[in-house]
Structure 1
């Protein structure tokens, strides 16, 4: 009889233990997390599996390290934090590693990827500069770094609104629409284009002809106000002596006057339905659109007139 009671008690104890198994938290020696927080479920296994264990698994115990970095934490400290958050766990069992090494997963991003980003940005700007080929030069690329996992979006801004004269580029990295890194890359842009260039020396005051010029491919960024159209130079007068092999800019030439000082011109006046014309003598050289003084041949008085064509000026009100 005594033996039967003992066996029955053991059976009851065993059945009771299996029916209401105590909660156990076993810490892993190593864990990998993706997000900004270290949750219990990421660094430990919780048994028995059920509603309570799933609830505990989502509790945040620490901030995750930077992407690609590691964090070492004592399991006793982690357990103490958990018990402060969930006081009813004070009597539960915790086992496993004494130290948990937590690594934050991430996406490696090296200098080659940064260079590719900048090249794609430059290609998107290419249509603003017809007839030119844009290249990045003297880039100071960063060392490799790690970004958080997630949908990546980048924003690139040149240091100068005129990107041809930019000395650096700012890259803002966003993951899931949240800024995660701000990077500045130093570098310059080379803009190659066909530039009118002198074939021979020409003295100041010469009229440029097509035989004086040829197109040479060169970087126009260092040039001020470059001219890329031969037709805009042919027939213009040189403002200074030009040398063979010298690239031309618009400031090096001037349009020859269509009216020269001392030239007899026709002065026209229109006001309402009234139209009058007379003759006069130009007192200065003038190009189309210039305002110059003209001496009226009848009154011998100087009047200001606008040059409208070779040998023709008009008086405006």
Structure 2
């Protein structure tokens, strides 16, 4: 008897969990106004709508504002249309042409110099930079503080 009761409770919890997951996936985020490429997306420009048929959504779209808030539009986002996650990117920490500090560290040797990024980059991106003094081009990883790390 108790085994049957446990199975019924487990089934009810499972179905309840599915209903909760389904209700979260039944909404999507759309723009309230036109968002242009290069524009940072803020919560005030977004609204939540109910999906009539969630099974028909075939691409990865933004379901909650936190998915895209603070990111930058890669293409024009139109009001009333779903926002594909491929249409937004992380904000650039390093802009092409703006001098950045480059740090190199290896076996206790630390070298810091200035360089010019040849391309923009977000945190964790590998970008190419040109040494401001020698003109040598090399690659490094963009850090959260706006510097570029080269080497280990």
TM-score (norm. length: structure 2): 0.78
In 2, distance between residues paired with 1:291 and 1:128? 40
C-alpha contact 1:259 1:310 (8 A) present in aligned 2? no
In 1, distance between residues paired with 2:111 and 2:19? 48
Q: What is aligned with 2:125?
A: 290
Per-residue deviation, 1:202 = 2.3
Among candidates 217, 220, 224, match of residue 54 of structure 2: 220
Unaligned runs of 5+ in 2: 1-10
Q: What is aligned with 2:35?
A: 202
In 2, distance between residues paired with 1:235 and 1:222? 28
Matches for 1:1-317 after TM superposition, within 5 Å: 124=14, 127=17, 131-133=21-23, 192-218=25-51, 219-223=53-57, 224-317=59-152
Pair 226,261 (structure 1): closer, same or farther in 2 beyond 3 Å: same
In 1, distance between residues paired with 2:150 and 2:99? 16
Question: Matched residue pairs, number?
Answer: 141
Q: Deviations over 1:1-29 (max 9, x none)?
A: xxxxxxxxxxxxxxxxxxxxxxxxxxxxx
Greater Cα radius of gyration, structure 1 or 2: 1
SS of 1:248's equivalent? Answer: coil
Per-residue deviation, 1:220 = 3.3
Q: Deviations over 1:169-207 (max 9, x none)?
A: xxxxxxxxxxxxxxxxxxxxxx85221111112233322
C-alpha contact 1:196 1:216 (8 A) present in aligned 2? yes
In 2, distance between residues paired with 1:302 and 1:129? 55
C-alpha contact 1:259 1:282 (8 A) present in aligned 2? yes
Pair 243,299 (structure 1): closer, same or farther in 2 beyond 3 Å: same
In 2, distance between residues paired with 1:268 and 1:258? 16
C-alpha contact 1:208 1:233 (8 A) present in aligned 2? yes
C-alpha contact 1:286 1:292 (8 A) present in aligned 2? yes
Structure 1 stretches of 4+ with a deviation exceeding 6 A read none
Measured on the aligned residues, the alpha-carbon RMSD in Å equals: 2.6
Greater strand share, 1 or 2? 1
Per-residue deviation, 1:130 = 5.4
